[in-house]
Structure formats: C-alpha cells, structure tokens
Amino acid sequence: MLPCPRPTATLHINTTCQKVQLDTSNVGQPNITSQFCSNIFRHRYTQQQVLAVQTAHRKASSWQDKVALSTVKLLRWGMDFVTGYNSYSPTSNFETKARPMTEQKWITRFIFLESVAGVPGMVAGMLRHLKSIRMMRRDYGWIETLLEEAYNERMHLLTFLKLAEPSWTMRFMVLGAQCVFFSGFSLAYLISPQICHRFVGYLEEEAVITYSKAIKDFDDGHLPLWQNLQAPEMAIKYWQMPDNNRCMRSLLLYVRADEANHRDVNHTLGNLNQTDPNPFSANSKIQNALSQLQQSDRGKAGR
C-alpha cells in the first residue's frame, strides 16, 4: 500500500477548526465558493479545492435561524452522547483525554452522522416532488439538488460501512433515530421549509467541524491504524480519486468537501422563496454561463 501523503505546514491551516463567518445574505448571487459550485453534481475536486475547505458559521439573526440552530445543538448533544464523542482539542488527544477518540469511535460517529444526514434531502425532494405533481407546476430545479444531496450522503455512509461493521446496538439506534427524524423533519418541512434548510445548513456546519477534527487527529498521529489505510474501491470510483491520493486522509478530505457543499447550498436555499429558481440546478448553471458569455461578447463588441 502507498503511504498516505504527509501534510505540509500550509495544509494544517486548512484543517484547523477555526471558524469563519458564512455570509449567505445575497439571495440573487448565492455566496458559495465557486470552486465547489462547478462540482456539485459530479463530486470531482482538485487537491487544492479539498484543502481549501474551512469551517464556517452563519450568524443566527432571525427567530427562524435561532430555532434551527438550537435544534441542531440539541441534536449534536444527543449524537455526542451516543457516539462517545468529546470536544477536547484534537492536538491534546492522548495527553489530556480520559477517553480519546480512536479510529473505531470516529467511524461510529461518521456512520451515525451520515445515517441522519441522508434524510433531509430525500424528505425535502419527495415533498417538493409531490407538491409539483399536486399543484401541476414546475419545481424550478430544487428536486434534483435535494435528491442528489441525499444520494451523496448515502454514498458517504456506504463508504464508511466498508471500513467497519456496526453493532446491532448501533443498528437499532440508527433505526430509531431515522424513524423519529424522518417523521419530525417531514412535518417541519410542511410547516416551514425555510427553517428546515437553515437547520440542514447548521447541521452541515457541524459535519465539517467533525471531519476537520478527524483530519487534525490524523495529521497529529493519533490515528495510527489509518496511516496506511487505503480508501475503499467504491470511494475511489465515486470521487475519481487520483492514484497518489487514495488514502484515508484523502477520503476524509473529499467527504468534508461534500459537506461544505451541502452547508452552503442549504444556507442559500434557506434564503430563497419556495417559488424562486434553484441557482444550483444544472439548467440554472447553463443559463448563467450563457448569460455571462453574452455579456462578454457585448463588452468585446463595444470596444
């Protein structure tokens, strides 16, 4: 097996958990990193793109935002309890922690996290699909993005299941959490889609933090069993990982990049009206590209 590439000093900057302020207030032009917009459906990233991901937080300004953030914090507490997670600084992993985060604990957390994260996109896509049929009108591109998100999260789960076999206790907890979360999120989306998308945005913020801390643990040498572990074959094919970046660290970087996508997309969708076109749909991207091309042609003609 090829050894996992060791990070340089500049890479550590990108894997820390220092938060930056996330601004998604501009509805017309969603403030999402352009380098990820172009890859949102094919999930192909360059090494520079996956290393550029940072943790970010959108300030809760309205009461809807505060409800969504409070719900995520409550869910985060329950997830931490179930998966045995603690919030100590990863730089002091084996020095100060009574119960350090081992490879098994990280995988358990990833599996539980992804089993929950795969629900919102499917629920929202399903409800919008049914509404489009019921109202006999277009959905303006929301459904494809939401279903793609659900599929992407499921691929994360299936990838991690290649690395560990969850216990029956974990399976029952996932089953119970899915039943409760599916029912609750379905009802909530019928009442306020805006709050639900903001909720998912905050949930994905936590996901980016989780994977950033795992990467930091890996870089600091606290996860020795993963140092020479190669990514599963299905992950290599799904993300089309290059030959020299197929180790466990690279897998975590790719997954984190996906979560950053979902974070920014859902925060942007939370700003839109339900009848607004989805700026992340394939059709919108083509129209925007054509519009930019036409503007460029007009500019050249006017010179």
The answer to whether 262 is a known ligand-binding residue is: yes
The answer to whether 103 is a known ligand-binding residue is: no
Nearest to 217 by CA among 53, 11, 15: 15
The answer to whether 206 is a known ligand-binding residue is: no
The answer to whether 205 is a known ligand-binding residue is: no
Residue ranges of the alpha helices (H) in the chain?
9-14, 34-37, 47-51, 63-83, 93-96, 103-135, 142-161, 168-191, 193-219, 233-239, 248-269, 282-301
Amino acid at 52: A
The answer to whether 267 is a known ligand-binding residue is: no
CA angle centred on 44, ends 38 and 50, rounded to 5°: 90
The answer to whether 57 is a known ligand-binding residue is: no
Q: How far apart are the first and last CA of the chain?
A: 57
DSSP class of residue 29? Answer: S
Backbone angles phi, psi at 106, to 5 degrees: -65, -45
Collapsed DSSP state (helix, strand, coil) of residue 269: helix
185 C-beta neighbours (distance < 10 Å), count: 20
Instruction: Estimate to the nearest angstrom the gap between the alpha carbon of 229 and the chain centroid.
Output: 23
Burial (CB < 10 A; 0-12, 13-18, 19+), residue 140, is: middle
Collapsed DSSP state (helix, strand, coil) of residue 21: strand
DSSP class of residue 247? Answer: B
Instruction: Extract the annotated binding site for Fe cation.
Output: 114, 153, 156, 204, 259, 262
Please give the annotated binding residues, written as ranges. 114, 153, 156, 204, 259, 262
